[in-house]
Amino acid sequence: MFPLSFSSYIRVINPEIEVRPGWYGEIEELFESYLKVGGLPTSISGLSP
């Protein structure tokens, strides 16, 4: 489960994306796969929740 600031992660990736609750299932899977391989960009992994 992502912190309440999850939408801020998406804004860092693409500020034009409007984060909607319905997206979380899909996006969470993507983030989990990134975390498993340690592939998160430094700008994102360095953010504080």
Q: What is the pLDDT of residues 2-44, one digit of tens each?
A: 455 666 666 666 666 666 656 666 777 777 776 666 655 544 5
Distance of CA 49 to the CA centre of its chain: 11
Residue type, position 17, single letter: I
Helix (H, G, I), strand (E, B) or coil at 1: coil
The pTM of the full predicted model, rounded to 2 decimals, is 0.26
User: What is the predicted pLDDT for the residue at 30?
Assistant: 73
Tell me what pLDDT residue 28 has. Answer: 72
Q: Is the backbone of residue 32 left (phi > 0), alpha (psi -120 to 50) or beta?
A: alpha
